[in-house]
Amino acid sequence: MNSEIRSLEPKPLWNKFADLNAVPRASKKEARVISFMKDFGSKLGLEVFEDEVGNVIIKKPATAGMEDRVTIVMQSHLDMVHQKNAETTFDFDTQGIEMYVDGDWVRAKGTTLGADNGLGVATIMALLESKDIEHPAIEALFTIDEETGMTGAMGLKGGLLSGGILLNLDTEEDDEIGVGCAGGIDVTATRAYNEEETPEFKLGYEIKIKGLQGGHSGMDIHKGLGNANKIMNRLLFDGFENFGLRISEIDGGSLRNAIPRESKAIVAIDTVNDAVFNAAMSQLAEIIKSELKTLEPI
């Protein structure tokens, strides 16, 4: 798996990405990757330290002739969105990401890839390891828990860095520089309900939405990608309006900052509506596929 990734160009970048993706690094569970980064810097003979919240800072002196240049802070975050398909057996606490080359793309087998922000981290690692790239003094800042709270960046104390320019390598485009940041908000909604026994004249169904691309709820939200929870709600509402559908269980999505790519519901309808319900759901499913045919591989 890693051999084909390591053969990609530029090799220093892809080799560092392969090294990094072999280390579990789910948000709020970054202990292993923190140790990995500290060990990486120490083996290079560079100044390395971890702050009180878990951010890792590695400092590299300027190359000869560039000692008078402004020190550059290069920053990326260590954690990744840890999401997997329901049918994929994978433990983000113990396993590294299983990558493969698919044409012009690098993908992961049934899980998120971790390119956000693994490629930023790998880029900085390659520069820190490089012996032939001229550069001013570098302060490499690797923050934690960006995906679920920004607690690493928020907990960074003043005085640890001296650089005059900060480059954040968490972006989608390698030929653009962005200024500013989008905001976000979390909503938790709860409601009580009374359970009841399923009547004998009801017929049970399991409805599944799967095969969607998913994506980052910040960077990809404008692309119009399929949202498994929204699609499921559309199917359930149609079933309720036309066939008196009742819900037993519903479960969709897995992370607050990822567009849901899978959803499942267990429902019940009147037995007499079996044939027409099947036909109506199949018709609506084809309509939804048609709507998403240019965006989703379903």
What residues act catalytically? Answer: 79, 146
Peptide bond into 55 cis (omega under 30): no
In this structure, how many other beta carbons lie within 10 angstroms of the beta carbon of residue 155? Answer: 15
CA distance 102 to 37: 29
Exposure on the CB side of residue 271, measured as CA atoms within 13 A = 5
Query: For the chain, how are helix, strand and coil distributed in percent, rounded to 5?
Result: 30, 20, 50
Q: Which residues contact 79 (CB under 8 A, 6 or more apart)?
A: 25, 26, 27, 28, 30, 33, 144, 145, 146, 147, 148
CA distance 98 to 110: 9
CA distance 264 to 190: 19
Pairing of strands 215-216, 72-77: unpaired
